[in-house]
């Protein structure tokens, strides 16, 4: 199987790769969002403690 054949997915490239791409985006977002929230919150807590 060549690379082209693999990516063509027997003519179903649009349906298959859209499914996989969308899944990747949603799953990544579910990790990035809570981690970013936590970092931001920890920073704001540290700032508050410094002021006291």
Partner 1 sequence: MFLIPDPVVRFFHRMASPPHFYALTERLMPWLVVIFLLLTAAGLYGGLYLAPSDYQQGDSYRIIYIHVPSAWMSLFIYVVMAVAGAIGLVWRIKLAEIVAISSAPVGASFTFIALVTGSLWGKPMWGTWWVWDARLTSELILLFLYLGVIGLYGAIDDKRTASRAVAILALVGVVNIPIIHYSVEWWNTLHQGPTVTKMDKPSIHVSMLIPLLLMALSFKFYYLIALLQRARTELLLRERNAQWVKNMISEAK
- Residues in the site for partner 1, rule: CB under 8 A? 1, 6, 9-12, 15-16, 18-20, 22-23, 26-27, 29-31, 34-35, 37-38, 41-42, 45-46, 49-50
**Least Å from the CB of residue 3 to partner 1:** 11
Work out how close the CB of 13 gets to partner 1 at its nearest, in angstroms, rounded to a whole number.
Answer: 8
Using the minimum distance from each CB to partner 1, give the nearer residue, 4 or 41: 41
Report the distance separating Cα 32 and Cα 37, nearest Å: 8
**If you write DSSP's letter for every residue of 1-52 in order, what string do you get?**
--HHHHHHGGGTHHHHHHHHHHHHHHHHHHHHHHHHHHHHHHHHHHHHHHH-
């Amino acid at each position: 199987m060549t690379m082209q054949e693999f990516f063509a997915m027997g003519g179903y490239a649009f349906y298959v790769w859209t499914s996989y791409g969308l899944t990747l985006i949603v799953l990544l977002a579910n990790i990035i969002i809570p981690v970013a929230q936590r970092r931001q919150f920890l920073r704001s807590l540290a700032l508050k403690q410094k002021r006291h």
